[in-house]
Chains A and B, each alone.
Chain A
């Protein structure tokens, strides 16, 4: 029964995290008003291109988890940069939610990792994230470019937490169904 409970909790956490990430972007858009009107172009920051095809739900969960790990890296970079630039004096809703998202994402990664069997759904390890990656459009210290990048990171978060939520929900349903059958 634990498995079903754990997967249920993971699914719920993913759902909550998705909501938080949506709100985070909303706050960011309120601050940087230009983003509400025009969507920046560019590729996805996080892709599963390198991952093998996921056949089972478990493998899908693994893939999503890999993506989320990547997101986590990006979020960490984002926080570091913003703190670096702005200092720690700002303590608005955006800053506190940013921290919450990071913490919950960490919990989600941990709980999804516990659900999977070893090596299940894992993607090949990607090179360690350089925080300056993806920012070198013209000039690394370009504030505007940083803002656009931040926006993309936040979008990735939304996308992948949504994907995780759905996958984990499916996973949970399967797990739960299996356990019902076992009891019978």
Chain B
């Protein structure tokens, strides 16, 4: 029966006696604080063998205290689990016995606060603090409030206690097997009022700008309580808070609401005196305010000519519409006539054209309409003195906006208005304006409402009731850009060696900035050479001096402060002066020609012998025995028989050669070479000689009979024919029938007389086919020997005409034809 006593340890007494034969462990179900030390003892059953003892999952080394008693000592025990820590004592096969130990903490509760919800009873709450780790019911923390058991805290997992009566001083005792904690609190009831949430919140009167909210309290005693209530209003993601106070507050009037808005309201109240905390919040409640008439419109009028213009108005924001707009109404009236019926426009229209009948003052009024009614009319009194002769100054933009300032004006009782509109616009123009109060003398037109590269006319007016006075006007660009089109009508005019370039400035809508000047370039192959920079935009011409004759390409660019435009190009070719041209173009060639002529004359003179030989060889004249004064008329000569021409056909001759063919008189149409010779006639036909040229161009194969008709005389040419021994043929063949030798004569404008010389003395019989005075007759020629005829050919023919036509267009199929033509002087 070992006993151990110590001041800090519990003493357990047991008995190791045979009567208690079952296995047994000691102590059972102890509750100890974390970190303590304990000894467990195991009494093993008789005849059971001991193997080990375990503390939780940990094997412990046991000390044997007696025959069947073993003990372990555990130090610094950690906190046990929910069901405690198991300590077991085992044999080889079985768990013999065991115990559960609960290791935890004493209570750690803190922060007792008591309040009243119903102005009578108390609710005390505190914070749990550290978990005791003791789950078992018997070791759980037990609470008493002012000596009474706290059922809410003991039974359920809540940490508050209620008390029916407010006792002004509270003591909470938290106790568990490991310790006790005492918490205290003391306060007046009025200091600890924590109201419940208002109930039955409703809106009893809902207007456009206000609403009345009502609710009730579940606690009757609230009605006497001086309370302050806080209202939270939510609308469009905006929230506002309003406070109201009063005893037992149960209704409030919400002012300064906005029409046609969805509001959500929550409400909570607290004690006004000795405010403790806000009570519970009510459930959200929705209010939708009614619509109201819209606010007045911001109206402006703009005239683009003396009697037409437009009235503009800015769209109303949702805030100012007080309800969705259904349209606008525009009405105008003038001094002469009363107001007309207003024009209704659907929403989305923001301007309306205005036409003035005469240039009198008119009143234009625009109003917006919504289901609640018509807005206040915004009257615009138009006095026709707007377009004054005020000078317009240049305005430069600053970072894309216009910074304006003007002198204050005493007449501006209603403030000023700034208007900006693209210059030169007419009709539906993007007019914009802003009315500023009279205290402001400056305004910045935002770059959002301005477009770069557009010229705006900005005007400042002073406003007073019924009057609008233009104070100042500018024109400018919010941001200058390079012109979109370059100069037009670029034309060069050459004067001598100078070129005057003139152009017209681009139209204003293409300028996109104030034209500051022009640059003139000369275009080379790959780049432009700057010739001049004209810094005066009024100058629209430039003279380029000292240009040599060549092809030039000029480029003229206009520039603004933003840069140069693409430029206009013009070409010009510089040519010589007229006088120079005359000199060069006419006189010089003339002089050269004269020089050449002189040279040629000199040359010809020096070599005149050769020239004569070459071009005008002498043709010996015919030896005329007698006086051959040429009769005027035809000379009929009875030819000697010898003079008859006998034409012998010689098939070996080449008929294709051009030759002089005798054409028989009567057979002029004969096409073949076989000319029947009139051999039967004894008397040769008369030969008729002409010493005058037969008319040229005459196609006629002139018959001797008809030759008389041929009286054409061409010019005063002379033909002298020298015959050398025309012999008649040996055979009886006479001459070619009527082979008249009619040399064709042509009028020739030439000084020289053709001289035809024959040197051939033909003894042959007749002429084969051709008589070719131009041919190179050779006595040795075999052709010449073929002559069977005894035609005495003329040895020289002197004629002032070409005897042989230059060219015959008709092919000498009939050799006769060619010959005939030749003789008749046909060309």
Contacts and interface: CB of A to CB of B under 8 A. Distances in A.
Q: Do A and B bind each other?
A: yes
B136 A86 contact: yes
Nearest to A138: B24
A176 interface: no
Contact of A86 (B22, B24, B135, B157): B135
Interface stretch (B92-100, B394-402, B667-675): B92-100
Given A32-B83, A138-B22, A147-B86, A86 B100 contact: no
A85 B88 CA distance: 21
A142 to B, nearest CB: 5
Contacts of B94: 38-41
A147 B137 contact: no
A47 B705 CA distance: 180
B28 A34 contact: no
Interface in A65-103: 84-87, 89-90
B768 to A, nearest CB: 148
Contacts of A37: 90, 95
B553 interface: no
Contact of A87 (B24, B95, B98, B137): B137
A90 B82 contact: yes
Given A143-B28, A144-B99, A34 B86 contact: yes
Contact of A38 (B25, B56, B95, B138): B95
A144 B25 contact: yes
A143 B88 contact: no
B137 A143 contact: no
Nearest to B91: A38
Contacts of A148: 95, 98
Contacts of B636: none
A90 B135 contact: yes
Given A33-B86, A34-B54, A89 B28 contact: no
Contacts of B138: 85
Contacts of A87: 135, 137, 140, 157
B401 to A, nearest CB: 68
Nearest to A89: B157
Interface in A122-180: 137-139, 141-144, 147-148
Contact of B98 (A41, A139, A144): A144
A86 B86 contact: no
A31 interface: yes
B81 interface: yes
Contacts of B88: 34, 38
Contacts of B97: 144
Interface in B567-620: none
B340 interface: no
B86 A32 contact: yes
Contacts of A39: 94-95
A29 B100 CA distance: 15
Contacts of B56: 33
A138 B86 CA distance: 17
Given A33-B57, A38-B94, A40-B95, A143 B135 contact: no
A27 B97 CA distance: 22
B57 A143 contact: no
Contact of B29 (A32, A90, A137, A141): A141
A87 B88 CA distance: 25
B33 interface: no
B514 to A, nearest CB: 84
Nearest to B140: A87
A147 B100 contact: yes
B259 interface: no
B54 A84 contact: no
Interface string B53-69: 01011000000000000
A83 B90 CA distance: 29
A24 to B, nearest CB: 15
Interface residues on A, range: 20 to 34
Contacts of B29: 141-144
Interface in A99-132: none
Contacts of A141: 29
A147 B99 CA distance: 10
B84 interface: yes
Interface string B207-244: 00000000000000000000000000000000000000
Interface in B79-118: 81-84, 86, 88, 90, 93-95, 97-100
Interface string B661-688: 0000000000000000000000000000
Contacts of B82: 31, 86, 90
Interface string A35-63: 10111110000000000000000000000
Q: Which of B81, B88, B157 has the most CB of A within 10 A?
A: B88
B22 A144 contact: no
Contacts of B99: 143-144
Contacts of B135: 86-87, 89-90
Interface in B112-155: 135-138, 140
Given A38-B90, A144-B98, A31 B28 contact: no
B780 to A, nearest CB: 153
Interface string B151-175: 0000001000000000000000000
Given A33-B86, A38-B88, A143-B28, A86 B137 contact: yes
A67 B83 CA distance: 29
A85 B136 contact: yes
Contacts of B136: 85-86, 143
Given A33-B57, A39-B94, A143-B100, A137 B22 contact: yes
A19 B95 CA distance: 26
Nearest to A38: B95
A32 B88 CA distance: 11
A144 B54 CA distance: 14
Contacts of A86: 82-83, 135-137
Contact of A85 (B24, B57, B86, B137): B137
B42 to A, nearest CB: 12
Contacts of B83: 31-32, 86, 143, 147
A143 B139 CA distance: 13
Interface string B261-282: 0000000000000000000000
Contacts of A34: 54, 86, 88, 95, 98
Interface string B14-39: 00000000101100110000000000
Nearest to B101: A143
Contacts of A143: 28-29, 83-84, 99-100, 136
A34 B135 CA distance: 20
A144 B28 contact: yes
B57 A139 contact: no
Contacts of B28: 138-139, 142-144
A84 B86 contact: no
A35 to B, nearest CB: 8
Contacts of A139: 28
Contacts of B140: 87
Contacts of B95: 34-35, 37-40, 148
A180 to B, nearest CB: 50
A38 B652 CA distance: 159
Given A40-B95, A86-B137, A31 B22 contact: no
Nearest to B95: A38
A117 to B, nearest CB: 44
Interface of A: 31-35, 37-41, 84-87, 89-90, 137-139, 141-144, 147-148
Given A139-B28, A143-B84, 15 more contacts: A31-B81, A31-B83, A32-B83, A38-B93, A38-B95, A85-B136, A86-B83, A86-B137, A87-B135, A87-B137, A143-B83, A144-B98, A144-B100, A147-B98, A147-B100
Q: Ordered nearest first, which 4 A-B pairs have the shortest CB separation?
A: A38-B95, A143-B100, A144-B98, A34-B88
20 contacts: A31-B82, A31-B83, A33-B86, A34-B86, A37-B95, A38-B88, A38-B94, A38-B95, A41-B94, A86-B83, A87-B135, A87-B157, A137-B22, A138-B22, A143-B28, A143-B29, A143-B100, A144-B25, A144-B28, A144-B99
